[in-house]
Structure 1
Amino acid sequence: MGSTIFTKGFVKLGMVSLAAVTVGLAAQAQGETQRFRISQGSLQQALVEFTVQSQYQFMATEGLLSGKTVTPVIGVMSREEALQRLLEGTGLTYEIDRQGRVILEEDREKHGASGPSNSTSLVQYAAVSDAEIARQSNGAAVTNARNGGDVDETDGDGLEDGAVEEITVTGSNIRGTEPASQVFKYEREEIERTGLTTLPQFLRTLPQVFGGGAQDGNGGGNFVAPGSGAGSNVGFGSGVNLRGLGNRSTLVLLNGRRMAPAGFGEVVDISLIPLPAIDSVEVLPDGASALYGSDAVGGVVNFVLRDDYEGAQTQARYGFVTEGGLDELQLSQTFGKSWNSGHAMLSYEFFDRSFLDSEDRDFSVNSPDPTYLLPEQTRHSVFADVGQSLSDQVEVFATAFYSDREFETFTALTTSPLTSLLTGSTEQFGGTVGGNVNVGNDWLLEVAGTYNETTSLLVNNTFFIPFDPMSSPLFTSINETTSEALVIDAILDGPLFQMSGGQAKAAIGGQFRGETFQRRIGDVVRTDEDRDVYAVFAELNFPFISAENRSPGFERLELNIAARYEDYNDFGSSTDPRIGLVWSPVVGLKFRGTWGTSFKAPLLSELDETGNQAFLLDIENPDNPSEIIPGMIWIGNNSDLGTESATTWTAGVDITPVSVPGLSIEFTYYDIDFEDRITTIRAFLDGFSDPRFASLLTRNPNAELINSLSSLRLFENFSTMFQPEDTQIIFDRRLRNLATVQTNGLDFAASYGFDSDIGTWNVSIGGSYILEFTEQIFEADQPVDIVDTVFNPSDLRLNGAVSWEKDGFASNVQIRHTGAYRDVRETPAANVDSWTTVDLNLSYNTSGNTDSPWLRDTVFSISVQNLFDQNPPFVVGNAGAERNFDPENATSLNRFIAFQISRSW
């Protein structure tokens, strides 16, 4: 089974590591995209910081900069874009001379100025010595700033002096390339500002992320909404569901690497990743199989580990609901060290939460007792990251992680006299080793091997109601699943040739993936599947127009082309192209668009037929209803499944007006046509007579097929008149590539940051509006629009925030809104109210505000989720689970208050 694949895999992994050290891997080369952090203040001081981070030299006429101020410039972008943002509102523009110097001058279109009369009148600004930089920027911050990192007293990224960090961002395999897709990037500090301290909580607040699917209150035989895509959610994990297309259609990465899924392979459990180990979260809500392969249909979420932390941070948090007995304790410790040639980080987190009883909520008080709305959970997580440059040409890196979460919950139905005590755990561990080498002419080769394993255990003890804790269970079932993934990547990227707008660049690479899935029921292995995947991919980027050759109407014009081919040894292959285009007619206005195809490979668990079932029944003859004949129904998995495929295109505009510094507005239209989705036929006896299912009927089956089905371990003869060999018709209800989903909608976001006499403010609003979300099982069926129906996405989701900071004090108010929708299970359809909640987070940072050695570098905060204690909208319970709310679109937590102390040492 998988032992062979992983024995070979570890040999390959060791060879990769040895080659990485022996051949030598590379120092980062200067490129077009890097991280900037320019403080608000005078333009002259800002240019000092910009020089440190960009290596530009600035020239201007004497006195030109006097009295001019700038707003902060923070984020990952090209040097030219950062400079344009820096100069917004100053009335200045720039040119780059033949020596590469930046010549600042008044905007002639606005002021009628002719610019500097001659070069002799220019004064060099921000040309500071290392000593002056050290005086102004303070030690370790200088190294990081020079390398394009954050200007911070503690952070440093370990690059050698004089280098500028050129990074690869989610959405492209080419260093220094800004993707044509919209990418939402959330820094750890921004996430913490919301008062949310787990990644599942934060991801669920994003308008593009539908709450449906795997979550801690939705799994393990507990209440799972129909069509949620949660699968069994054996380990009570939490996944990501972009665009409402299901957890399995969203690719989750850690530091750009795949992770092994939990449960039956349908979800990567992000609840096992501790927030203190995360530097940022990057969300690409666009099809991206051309870049990353299978699963990237709804998009990609990449969790980036911290690699530039210097010092130690201790954090403690305690929270509780104001109604009920649920409380949480969270403790974490992070150590980090950066030096000129490397870095190291180690982070540990402990998380413990008690259960939320259904009796603690008036909307679910009629649920059978005992029933938990949220399970009791305890988690330990350890993450480590290290990188080291061995020479000017050599860099090696490694990450490692281990998480273990245990849970306990009760679930019961009003339709049954029984209750189930569900206990279990999810354990995940793994890591990456690799490195990169500069092979010459700014071409960088990166080779890495990643292994990770996830085991989910579910123990179901069944009791009579009322539950007696001293009684023995009526029966016990044990279900354990294990998924393993070994990935070996090699990617080479660099410049191809010089174009008028800059360097044309390319990336080429290959990947091997070995995946296994095993399921045990008790001590018996029921499923044991594995697969090998080989992939090759390429990406090209052509900058036709940039700041180097801009002209009226064309500030920037850039084309990106990518393609990937993946071959699976168990079912087939897929080739997926992608095209992206970016056009900026003027500074502050950018249009972008993408088109591409994506795919989703069937799960290993879905290809395994060992658990299939068949039933022999007495049915009405579909050709003569007055006659009773023997018919067989065949259900379960299907080894002949193929890929699910999607075509996606987007069009968007980004507006950062020069006349309003600090304002940013973004709009994106998306359209997804998702075909051949794997689905189960929702029919039973009616399937024999419904003409829609005619292609799934086998009339007068041969003896071989009848014998194979009647020999199944789970075959049952429910006929009172016939034996299996008499079977006249078979209804094949196994999983099939049948369904089609079409969805389109709008994403929008706006933010405005500004300074005032009473502090620094930032106001933002983001949202997603679904125009269409239709499902169709057969071509002859009429598409059914499921948007705004219970257990499916609401058409409108909004997230607005107002934050304020001054003298160490900070506040953040967040308002979240989910639009009203309908419960179509009732006739006529019942209205479900909209849901609006408010979160509040208040904090005080003592850094620079106290001389006390006991209080310095400490942050005190209090956060309140659902400040006004709004119940989720009432929805009639499903299938005897009287929870009476929709867990796909709301939560049962209600008001939750938390106190937190964080100390840096």
Structure 2
Amino acid sequence: MSMNNRMFHSSARHAPRAATLTGSVLAILATAGNAQAMTEWDLPEQPLAKSLREIAAQTDSNIIFDRKLVNDQSAPPLKMKATTEQALKQVLEGTGLTYRHLDDKTVTIQLASTDPSITTSASYGADGRIRLAQAQTGEGAGPRTRIVDGKPLLDIEEIIVTGTNIRGIENSTAPVIVLSREYINSTGFSTTTKLIESLPQNFALANQSGLQANGTGQVSSVSEQGSSINLRGIGEGTTLVLLNGRRLAPGFRSAAADISSLPLTAIERVEILTDGASAIYGSDAVGGVVNFILREDFEGAETRLRAGAADGTDEYRVSQALGNSWDSGNVLLSLEYYKRDELLASDRDYIPANVVAPGLLPEDENYSAVFTGEQQLSGSISAFADVLFSQRDSFNRAGRVSPLFNETPNDVDNPQLNATLGMNFGLGGDWQLEVSGSYGSNELEVVRGGGAVAVSSFDSKFESEAARIKADGTVLGLPGGNLRMAIGADYRSETYEDLTTVAGGIVTNSTDTDQDVSSAFAELYIPLVGSPNAVAGVNALEVSLAGRYDDYSTFGSSFDPQYGLMWEPVGGLRLRARYGTSYKAPNLVENTFGTNSAAAILAQDPLSPFGFSYQLQVVGIDVDALQAQESTSSSFGLEFTPEAIKGLAVNLNYYQIKYRNRITNPPLPTVLLGDPASFGSLFIRNPTVDQVNQFIAIAQRGQLGFIPLSPIDFTFDPNFDPASIEVIVDTRRRNLSLVETNGVDFSTRYDFAVGSSNVALGIDATYVLQIEQQITTTSAPFETDDTFGNAPNLRMRAMASWQRGGWSANTFVNYTDSYTDNRLITTPVSVDAYTTVDARVAYSFPTGSSSGFLSGVTVGASVLNLLDEDPPGTQVLSAPGAPSFDLGFDPANASALGRFISLEFTKTW
């Protein structure tokens, strides 16, 4: 999203309906007050933009304007008791501007001479989707140009919405969830990790900070302690993460973007496309796209202070934002500091006594700085810049829990840098050319110490340099609207290197690999039927077409198309469908043996007469057999916002993803050994000595090598005999023959007034019908959904909110359905459903000189897991007399944090 193509929303509670989640009705914000309610105004003579913001703040309304219309203008004093409309008339008097209602909660400021029917604007509909109304001067025309003070001016600037490369349109064929800044505030969450984790469409986080989720798609080291997004539960690295529309440099050894240190206070909104989009963004947008949009148009200063605590851990966050805008540009600097203390297993009485896991959540200390700005250089040329730097330091005295062994204490040092510089050029008409360059880096240093494994360190660095050129605009006018197009090319160079050393500086593993990716893309938006030519039964009919060619220097090339259709038979009802393909090359780290290791260990064996066997368990990556991955994705959905019931929004979406040669991890050894029909190719019973030595050699190509543990006392065995191995279990990451998943998203929300209060109710749910996999084309298929460490069939989040004047209250109920702990096929255990309640109450003091220091102040109190529900219990697997590495709960589907209470103070200066 270019900086030049962003619209300014002035609202202290920016678009309450934007908080509504198309697939996630989480959004709650105190919605706008009654427009006819009388307010006591006390505003001084000041810049018009500031008066408009303060009117929006005091009335919880959304005032949308182009800052170039108002920045040179002053507003007279406003000292009276009046409605919002009367206040607007007063401050706009003599400016040549007027206001127009987009809906009962949103107002746009425009030139008084402008025909309301041709104003370009953007707002959020009741379903949370961004709505855009195109400015036109006639059939087939582009945005209307006005002359203000001798300078050409668009009535309202256009923006790019996630799911398309074309400015000024909403791709109505794509299911997009929008989490507004106001929704983010209402949740009581303090980190980006917790925000994304709450989405029903996201399977927990494939890597939770401190604990390893051993489910589908885990590829990262158990020591890195970050968080990656896993939409649809098909694996780490299948969700593309963007920062202001551009790729976030991945962590986890190049596997996936780490969002754990993204500063939540710097984020304006999050746009989530819950469908494959490789034809738009590139090959790794298989499960979906998450686009973090940074705050931009902000004037003044904002200070936030937050403190919170749960039993055994405390948390603090401090942030400061400074912003300014002028006739031809704007700038914002946002700084944040976050700290959380370590959470110990001894602080949770449900952790079994024989579990060797002193630390549950690591000590985290994060620093971040965000800079974003734009500058108009001439009437048709502008420059923009986005920079994010973050530094994450964490310590966990027990590392993360691994199914193979418990890691030693870890100190993690993780700086990340993402920067983009670019320019926009007007090409005539409404065509615009964007040229940009980006740099991203993610460095990681992990120092391990003590325990059975010698003191060691791991250092890695991923770097990406990218360039883009893109043009978009109107091709021709159709009876239903403008046919618009985007066309462009991308180039990306990626490098990854790592180094592992042990005590004395001895190098045990070193990796240095790189690849180049060249791409070309095109996209068409075709409005066949629109308001000009609507007929009975067809209010609107839109087609979207996109295609992308990617060429990898490592794994070949592919062309991926995407087709979309939206039909609106009557006002308020939209039906849509999409189909597309994807091609994904292995990650850079998947071309190396660095993660390979093995252990000889006495472990549970469902089909052994004794229940246990002495196993050689091999982990890592089957590098020699890797192939590129291909997938198809489709979705069908409806959006219903009946005109007769204002404030009601209902969304339904069906999705299906078929992944061929998906690179992922097989299930845990206990599951493999209990199902020979599905996994017979992954283990060898009664192996020969040569076979054992062959797999030991594979493990020794990795950083940890081979660790023989005595079956008697589980200590290091220097006299290991290969002939003693009863079973070889190969759980290395590999191409599975097929992964197929499908499911249904459902959400509904209803906003309504009760007297002078505003109320919102809603529910958001995802039901996974199946996640089915096959190891080979001839092996029996197996399902991973609804099992330990994997996505449950049903996740829901319900909400209720209330707002009156400056008061607001929000309640959320989170539900994870029961599922099965199937790690022991002979004795599977049912895991109970998990329900938690979150709540927040806040008060915003009136803005104005009469409020003194409290003007612009909001004070809030939040509680996560209000009833302090413990995670449901699971099996605790261990060999006789051995310590267990199970926690007694499933960290992929429940949190160890417990009841967490926080207080927050926000002051806008």
TM bucket normalised to smaller: 0.7 to 0.9
| 1:670 matched to 2:655 | yes
Give the AA of the match of 1:754: F
Q: Is 1:168 the counterpart of 2:152 in the alignment? A: no
Whether the aligned pair in 2 keeps the contact of 1:37 and 1:74 (CA below 8 Å) is no
CA deviations over 1:5-50 (Å, ceiling 9, x no partner): xxxxxxxxxxxxxxxxxxxx9965999xxx98996656999xxxxx
Is structure 2 residue 233 aligned with structure 1 residue 244? yes
Q: Return the offset for 1:340.
A: 2.1
Query: How far apart are 1:571 and its partner, in Å?
Result: 1.5
Tell me whether 1:443 sits opposite 2:431 in the alignment: yes
What residue number does 1:303 align with? Answer: 292
Aligned match of 1:598 in 572, 582, 591?
582
Query: Which whole-Å deviations, capped at 9, do the CAs of 1:674-706 have from their partners, x for residues lacking one?
Result: 11012467889999x999878999x9xxxxx99
Aligned CA-pair RMSD: 4.4
Map of 2:890 onto structure 1: 886
CA contact 1:571–1:641 (8 Å) conserved in 2: no
Query: Does structure 1 residue 567 correspond to structure 2 residue 551?
Result: yes
The 3-state SS of whatever aligns with 1:854 is helix
SS in 1 for 2:95: helix
Please tell me the residue identity of whatever aligns with 2:762: S
Determine whether 1:825 maps to 2:804. no
How far apart in 1 are the matches of 2:37 and 2:866? 44
Unaligned runs of 5+ in 1: 1-24, 46-51, 54-69, 77-124, 152-157, 465-473, 617-630, 700-704, 724-729
Amino acid at match of 1:667: L
CA contact (8 A) 1:761 1:803 kept: yes
Which residue of 321, 329, 334 corresponds with 1:334?
321
How has the CA–CA distance of structure 1 residues 818 and 344 changed in structure 2, closer, same or farther, with 3 Å as cutoff? same
Listed as ranges, the gaps of 5+ residues in structure 2 are: 9-13, 18-31, 39-47, 50-58, 66-88, 102-106, 113-118, 125-147, 601-615, 688-692, 709-718, 723-727, 879-883
Partners of 1:696 and 1:357 in 2: CA distance: 36
For residues 708-737 of structure 1, give each alpha carbon's deviation from its aligned partner in whole angstroms, at most 9, with x where no partner exists.
97998679999x9999xxxxxx99987542
1:397 is matched with which residue? 384
The one of the two structures with greater contact order (alpha-carbon pairs below 8 A, sep at least 6) is: 2
**C-alpha displacement at 1:142, in angstroms?**
5.2
Does the CA-based 8 Å contact 2:249-2:418 persist in structure 1? no
Query: Which residue pairs with 2:532 in the alignment?
Result: 548
Structure 1 residue 364, shift from structure 2 partner: 0.8
Structure 2 CA distance for partners of 1:592 and 1:414, relative to 1, 3 Å: closer
Q: Residues 874 and 543 of structure 1: is their aligned pair in 2 closer, same or farther, counting only changes over 3 Å?
A: same
* Aligned residue among 811, 814, 823 for 1:813: 811
1:558 and 2:542 aligned: yes
1:832-884 Cα distance to aligned partner (Å, 9 max, x none): 11111111100000124882422111000100001111111111235622421
* Secondary structure of the structure 1 residue equivalent to 2:812: strand
Alignment of 1:409-808 (within 5 A): 409-411=396-398, 420-463=408-451, 475-522=454-501, 524=507, 526-609=510-593, 636-638=621-623, 641-679=626-664, 736-808=734-806
Partner AA of 1:131 in structure 2: T
Residue identity in the other structure for 1:485: S
Q: 1:164 deviation in Å?
A: 1.5
Tell whether the 8 Å contact from 2:110 to 2:155 is kept in structure 1 after alignment: no
**Partners of 2:566 and 2:575 within 8 A in 1:** yes
The alpha carbon displacement at 1:553 in A equals 0.4
Alignment pair present for 1:232 and 2:221: yes
Which amino acid is the alignment partner of residue 431 of structure 2?
W
Between the aligned partners of 1:694 and 1:746, the Cα distance in structure 2 is 33
- Whether 1:384 and 2:371 are equivalent positions in the alignment is yes
**Separation of aligned partners in 2, 1:298 and 1:268:** 14
Contact 1:808 1:849 in 2 (8 A): no
Q: What one-letter code is carried by the residue in structure 2 that aligns with 1:674?
A: Y
Change (3 A) 1:75 1:656: farther
The sequence identity of aligned pairs, in percent, is 34
Alpha-carbon distance in structure 2 between the residues aligned to 1:839 and 1:800: 10
Query: Could you tell me how far apart the structure 2 residues matched to 1:885 and 1:634 are?
Result: 23
- Please, which of 881, 898, 901 is the counterpart of residue 902 of structure 2? 898
Q: How many angstroms does 1:642 deviate by?
A: 2.6
Deviations 1:479-532, CA, capped at 9 Å, x for gaps: 111111111111111111111101111111100001111111126460000101
SS at match of 1:853: helix
Question: Post-superposition shift, 1:441?
Answer: 2.0
Relative to structure 1, the CA distance from residue 859 to residue 230 in structure 2 (aligned partners, 3 Å threshold; closer, same or farther) is farther
Q: Which residue of 1 aligns with 2:70?
A: none
Mapped partners of 1:575, 1:640: distance in 2: 23
Give 1:325 shift.
2.1
Change over 3 Å in CA distance of 1:44–1:174 after alignment to 2? farther
Taking a change above 3 Å as real, the CA distance of residues 414 and 572 of structure 1, as seen in their structure-2 partners, is closer
Residue of structure 1 in register with 2:72 after alignment: none
C-alpha distance 316-296 of structure 1, shift in aligned 2 (>3 A): same
- TM normalised by structure 2 equals 0.76
Greater shift in the superposed pair: 362-371 or 237-246? 362-371
Indicate the SS of the match to 1:842: strand
Question: Paired residue for 1:190, among 158, 183, 187?
Answer: 183
Deviations along 1:780-808, one digit per CA (max 9) or x if unpaired, are 12211222111111111111111111110
DSSP-derived class of the 1:270 partner: coil
1:305-336 CA distance string (max 9 Å, x none): 11111110001000001xx3200011000111
Provide closer, same or farther for how the CA distance between residues 307 and 733 of structure 1 changes in structure 2, counting only shifts above 3 A. Answer: closer
How far apart are 1:420 and its partner, in Å?
2.0
Are the aligned partners of 1:370 and 1:419 in contact in 2 as well (CA < 8 Å)? Answer: no
Q: State TM-score, norm by structure 1.
A: 0.76
CA distance in 1, matches of 2:696, 2:767: 49
Give the residue type in structure 1 aligned to 2:767: Y
Give the structure 1 partner of residue 263 of structure 2. Answer: 274
The answer on whether the counterparts of 2:99 and 2:108 sit within 8 Å (CA) in structure 1 is: no
Residues 488, 895 of structure 1: alpha-carbon distance in 2 compared, 3 angstrom cutoff:
same
Q: Which residue of the partner structure matches residue 846 of structure 1?
A: 845
Structure 1 760/708 Cα, relative in aligned 2: closer, same or farther at 3 Å?
closer
In structure 2, distance between residues paired with 1:717 and 1:243: 35
Q: Compared with structure 1, are the counterparts of its residues 141 and 555 closer, same or farther at alpha carbon in structure 2 (3 Å cutoff)?
A: closer
